A and B are shown apart, each in its own frame.
Chain A
Amino acid sequence: MRHIWAVILGSFGLSGIAICSAQIPQAPSRWVQPAAELAGQIADILGPGQAQVTVRNLSTIQAGEIPAIRKLLELDLKAHGIIASGGESANAVRVTLSENVRERLWVAEVVEGSETHVAMVHVDASTATVAVADARMVLQKEKITGLSIRIGGIALDDPVLAATEINGHFVVMFADQISIFSPIPGGWTESNTFLMEKRLSRDPRGVLLANAGGGSFTAYAPGAECVGSYSLPLSGPMAESGWSVRCHTSDDPWPIYQSADASGLPPLKAFYNPARDYFTGVVAPSIGVDLPAFYSAGLIPRAAGGAALLVTEIDGKVSIAENDALRNVAGTRDWGSDFAMVRSGCGAGTQVIASSSGEAVNDSLRAFEIPALEAVPESGPLAMDGTVTALWTAQDGKSAFAVVRDTAGEYEVDRVSALCD
C-alpha cells in the first residue's frame, strides 16, 4: 500500500495528492484479513491467470469504502498470480459484499467458461460511533461493559431495573434476582446472584439504594424488599463477592430521590402499585397536596431556596408540587416517564435529565433546568441506542444511569454525565 502511494505522489506531484487520496482511500484494517482470505479461496478455484473482477455492495458498508476494498482484493489476487483484467478475459470473478442478520458475508462467484464456483468468507463486525450534539452543556454516556452478560456468557434479555456501584462491585437488580458484578479488566462480570420471587409484570420496576457507609443496600421491588450486606469474603465456599442478600414480602413505600442541595422537605417515600407500573400518588409524610398517580418523582432544589417535588404523571404531564399546590411544568411535552437529577456544577448546579423520543426510533436524553414552571433545555439530545426503560441518579449524585433496550430486545446500562461547555 505504501508503495502505491509513493508512485502516485511521484507521478502527480503535490497538486494530485488530494484527488488521488479521494479516489483510492486507504482501507481500514478490518477489511485486510477477509480480503486476503477471499482472494485465497478464489485463487484455489481459478489458479494464476487473468480475470475480470467486479465488486458490488449489498451490505451496510459505506459506499466510500468500496474502492479501498476492491483495491485490497486486487492486490491480494495479484499476490496469488491473478491479474485483474478487462472484459476480454474468459474468466470472471464477481465479488458481492453481502450480509445477513448475523454477520457480513463476502461472496465470490468465480466463472470459468460455463462453470461457476462460489467462495465465501465471514467478515468481522464493526462498531458504530454516536455523535453528541453541542450545547451549553454536553451529556456524554459510557457503557458499563459486562452488565448485560449473565453467568455463562448469555446475553441479557431481562430488563435491568436498577443498579448501583458499592464497595467496588456493581449491584444490579432484575425482575427476578439481584446480581453482584465484580470488576474484571475492561468491564464487569456477574459473580453472585440472589433470587427474588418474580413478580408478574410486563413493565417491572425497582429501586436500589446504597445505605450510608456503603456496606449495605436496600432494594425495593413490587411487593418485596431486599437488604444486601457486605463482609470481607472468606476463603472456602463463602459467596465469592462477599455480599449476602435477604428478601422479605413488603408493601412499604419506596424512597423518593432527593438531590443533596434540595433542602426544606423531609425525606419522602411513595407507595407503589405492585400490580401495575406506577406509584399510587400517596406519599409519606404528606406534602400538603394530593398527588395523582405518577411514574417518577424527585425532590429538586429551587432557585429561591428550599425544594419542590417533581412528578411525571401517568397521563404524560409533568408537575411540580410546592407551597401546597400542584402546577404543570411547561416544556416537558416530549418527556418520558423517568427522569434523574444530576449535580453537574454547571449552570444552576443541578439539572434534570429526561428521556424523549420525538420522531426518532431511538430515545435520547437531555438535561433541563426548571427555574420556575418551565423546563429549559440545557444540553442537546444525547442519542441512545434504543428505548430508555429506566433512568435514575447514581449514588454520587453527579451522574445518572440509563437502561436502554435495543430493537433486538437486549439491554445495556449506560452511565450518563453532564459536562459544562
Chain B
Amino acid sequence: MFRRFVIRALLAAMTLSATARTRPHYGGTLRVETAGDAWERPDGIARRLVYDGLTQLDASGALRPALALTWEPDNNSHRWQFRLRPGVHFHDGSTLTSGMVVASLSASCNTNCPWTAVKAVGPLVVFTSDSPMPSLPTMLAGDEFLITLRTTADGKTPVGAIGTGPFQVTGFNNGVLAMSANESCWQGRPFVDAIEIRVHRAVREQWLDLSVGRADVVEVPAEELRQAQQQRLTVLISPPVTMLALQVSEAGALANVKLRRAIAAAIDRSALYNVIFQKQGAVTASLLAQRLTGYSFLFPTDRDLNKAHELRAGLTPGPLTLATEGDGALQLAAQRIGLNLREAGFNVQLASAGTQRADLVLREIPLPGDDPVAALAQVMRGTGNLTPMTATTPAELLRVEQTILDEKKVIPLLDLPRANAIGARVRDLRLRADGTPDLADASLEAAQ
C-alpha cells in the first residue's frame, strides 16, 4: 500500500490524461515530433514502438515479463535462464525463437556484454557469467537489449527495422517516419492505426505544430518546462529519470584523484539548477535519485571553492577538454561548469559535441526503474565501470555508492525529469518508467 501510495504521488503528474472517462477508442493517426533521431540510443522514440525486450519496466518502474514469460537464477546469479513467450511473431511473420534472441543480444553488445556467454536451449535463453548478475532481468529491460530480427527465416539479412513491437515501419518520407499498427502484436493491437514521427524538429517548431493541431505529442526539455506551463500546454512530467553527470577521465593529470575531487568541489550545482534548468528536477551529488534510495541527501551538494583550491594544491594541469553529449541546455551547462573550474584554477576548454577522449564529458545517464541496485548497476555500466557489485540493504548500497563516488570518476549534478506536451485529442497517454511516452497505449478522441 505504501509503495502504491508513493508511486501514485510520483506518477500523478505523469498521467494527466491517464484516467479514461470512457474506454479507449480505436483508430486514427498519432502525430509525434522529436528534436532528435527516432532511432538514436538511448530511448529514440521509435525503438520501443518497433522492438521489445525480454523484460520490461512498467510505468512505476517494476519489472514485468515481455518476450520472456519467466526467468530464474541459478548458481548464485552466475547463470540465468529465460523462458520465451510462445506464439510471438516478428513483423515479417517469422516466429520468435531463442536462437533469434541470442543473435540479437550478442549483436547488441558485441564484446562488451554483461554476461560471459548466452546461448539458446530449446525455448530457453541461458546466460552465464564469471561474476554474479543479480540485476540481469532489469538490465535486459533496457534500451540496449531490445530484440531485433538479425536474420530472416531463409537466412537473409532483413531489410529495415523488424521487431515484435506494437508498430511496424512502413516508410520514411520528408523527415517523417511512418508506422502502422501491428495487428498481431503479442500485447494486443495498439489503439491508433498509425503513428507518424517527424524527426529533427526544433522544439519551438514542435510547440507551434502542437498549437495549430499539426502534432499530437511533442517534446518539452526540462529547461523549458516552466515556459511550457506558462504557455498552458498540457504537459506530462516524469519523476527525475535521468542524471546529469560529469564523467571525469583518469588519464594524464586527472589520474591524480585529488584533482578530480577538486573538480567536484568546484562545481556550482545550484547555478545549473536555478539558472539553466529553471529549477526543474533536483540538485544531487549521489548516483541514485532520492526516490530510489531515500538517502541521497547524505551526499553534500554545496560548492566549496576553498576546498577545491586546497585539493588542487597549486597543481595546474594542462588544458582540460570539456565535451557534452547533447546540445542546448547541456552546452550552456558545460559553459557554466567551465567557468566554475576556471575559478578553481583549472584551464578548461570546451570541446565540440561528440569529441572523442575529452577529459571531462557532461552527459545524461538514464535512471529508470524502481530497483536501486539495478539502477546503480546500469549507471556503472553506462560509465564504463564493470566492477561486479552486490548490495542487499540500503546501508550496503550506500557504502557501494560512497566507494564509487569517492573516486570522482563520475560527478552527479542534477536529477532531471522528462516531459512531453500533448494535444487535446490525445487520451490515455502515460509515460514509461524511463519518462518516454508509451504511445502504444495512447488513443485518440473521436477516432472511430
Instruction: Indicate if the CB atoms of A387 and B20 lie closer than 8 Å.
Output: yes
Chain B residue nearest to A387 (CB atoms) is: B19
A-B pair number, CB within 8 angstroms: 158
Number of interface residues of A (CB under 8 A): 54
Is A19's beta carbon under 8 Å from chain B? no
Taking a contact as CB atoms closer than 8 A, the residue among A98, A201, A357 that contacts B290 in the complex is: A98
| Stretch of B2-10, B201-209, B257-265, B303-311 that contacts chain A | B2-10
Shortest CB-to-CB span from B310 to chain A, Å, is 15
| Stretch of A122-130, A234-242, A257-265 that contacts chain B | A122-130
| Stretch of B23-31, B136-144, B229-237, B357-365 that contacts chain A | B23-31
Shortest CB-to-CB span from B59 to chain A, Å, is 6
Contact partners of A201 in chain B: CB under 8 A = 188-189
Given contacts A58-B297, A128-B5, A409-B58, contact A314 B290 (CB under 8 A): no
Is B391's beta carbon under 8 Å from chain A? no
Contact partners of A316 in chain B: CB under 8 A = 21-22
Is A165's beta carbon under 8 Å from chain B? no
Contact partners of A338 in chain B: CB under 8 A = 23
Given contacts A107-B298, A157-B64, A204-B188, contact A100 B22 (CB under 8 A): no
Is B62's beta carbon under 8 Å from chain A? yes
Q: Which bracket fits the contact residues of B?
A: 35 or more
A335 to B23, CA, bound (A): 11
A202 to B191, CA, bound (A): 8
| Stretch of A8-16, A320-328, A360-368 that contacts chain B | A360-368
Given contacts A387-B18, A408-B3, contact A202 B24 (CB under 8 A): yes
Given contacts A102-B3, A361-B12, contact A202 B294 (CB under 8 A): no
Taking a contact as CB atoms closer than 8 A, the residue among A101, A334, A385 that contacts B292 in the complex is: A101
Chain B residue nearest to A202 (CB atoms) is: B188
Query: Per-residue CB proximity of A374-412 to B under 8 Å, as 1/0?
Result: 000000000001010000000000000000001111100
Given contacts A99-B6, A101-B7, A202-B187, contact A107 B295 (CB under 8 A): yes
Chain B residue nearest to A124 (CB atoms) is: B2
Contact partners of B292 in chain A: CB under 8 A = 100-101
Instruction: Indicate if the CB atoms of A363 and B19 lie closer than 8 Å.
Output: yes
Instruction: Indicate if the CB atoms of A200 and B5 lie closer than 8 Å.
Output: no
Is A203's beta carbon under 8 Å from chain B? yes
A157 to B189, CA, bound (A): 18
Shortest CB-to-CB span from B376 to chain A, Å, is 13
20 more contacts with CB within 8 A, not counting A202-B24, A202-B187, are A60-B6, A60-B9, A96-B297, A98-B295, A103-B3, A107-B297, A120-B395, A201-B189, A202-B440, A276-B26, A277-B24, A277-B26, A316-B21, A335-B22, A337-B20, A338-B23, A361-B12, A407-B11, A408-B4, A408-B62
CB-based closest 6 A-B pairs: A125-B2, A105-B294, A100-B294, A202-B188, A98-B294, A408-B60
Which residues of B come within 8 Å of A, CB atoms? 1-12, 15, 18-26, 58-62, 64, 184-191, 290-295, 297-298, 370, 372, 394-395, 398, 440-441, 446, 448
6 contacts between A and B (CB under 8 A): A125-B5, A128-B1, A314-B22, A337-B20, A408-B4, A409-B59
